[in-house]
Amino acid sequence: MKSALTIAGSDPTGGAGLQADLRVFKSFGIHGLSVTAALTAQNTEGVSAIIPVDKGFFIGQMDVLLRDITPDALKTGMLYSAWVVDVITNKIEDYSLKNLVVDPVTVSSSGVPLVEQETLEAVKEHLFPIARVITPNIYEASVLTGMNIENISDMEMAAKKLKELGPEVVIITGGHLEGLALDLYYDGEDFHRIESVKSKGEYHGTGCAFSAAITASLALGHSTLESARRAKEYINNAIRKAYHLGKGMGLLNL
């Protein structure tokens, strides 16, 4: 049995965060492992509060788990505090972990900041250089590069800038072109446009689930490009079958 680890925040709705990641892993036939980086109070309408876990406890979670099980791939989601990035970086080296996917979460779907000010810089400096794949959406790519991304050409330029920070592959998600939902894949040599018909409505946790699907596919031994394509198809199916339990965004059928 292959396994994958998610290091992320907890989402009580189960629609995003580590709960959603674990559901995605199971869908791919992967055993899911999780380490909690932060706790949130949220629902389908938005995030109302965030509390980071205690540093000593976070380190304990990592060490106790990784002394026993070595995941075939891992992903980071909402990390909130800069010190979490330092710990993760050290543990990846200490335990020789492979197939890191970084989802550089900055704000929630409802616009609430999900990281402290220094965290994103720490992610860029420490996690991007050791990442197999990074999966910023257009807003996150804009923040990371300082660019105003409005079209495909801008996405390509931003991808090149992000590639210079060290990841093996950059995937910028959420580009819309003539009714298409476009994810741009860049490996330093070639661009690949992974497209689908844009779905109507707003859905919770699409970025989390997409990066988790890539992580699961990498754990199964697929290439980065095949993993991206599998993840896109998986998310499209999850959106098509989405449902509404609350008053806000739809929940993906993972």
Kindly report, residue by residue over 7-35, the tens digit of the pLDDT. 999 999 999 999 999 999 999 999 999 99
CA distance 29 to 235: 16
- pLDDT-derived band of residue 184, with 50, 70 and 90 as boundaries? very high
Res 113 pLDDT > 80: no
Contact 125, 98 (CB under 8 A): no
Q: Please name the residues in contact with 98: beta carbons below 8 A apart, sequence gap of 6 or more.
A: 72, 73, 132
- The amino acid that residue 228 corresponds to is A
Q: How far is CA 198 from CA 25, 67, 72, 242, 248, in A?
A: 24, 43, 32, 14, 19
CA distance 78 to 115: 7
In 3D space, the residue among 135, 143, 76, 158 whose CA is nearest the CA of residue 106 turns out to be: 143
What sign results for the dihedral spanned by CA atoms 227, 228, 229, 235? positive
Q: What value does the mean pLDDT take over residues 94-113?
A: 87
Query: Domain 3-135+203-251: which topology?
Result: UDP-N-acetylmuramoyl-L-alanine:D-glutamate ligase (3.40.1190)
Structure tokens at 146: 């300082």
Res 131 pLDDT > 70: yes
- Which sequence spans correspond to the domains of the chain? 3-135+203-251
Q: Measure CA 186 to chain center.
A: 17
Specify the pTM. 0.96
Rounded to the nearest integer, the mean pLDDT of the chain is 94
Q: What percent of the chain has pLDDT over 70?
A: 98
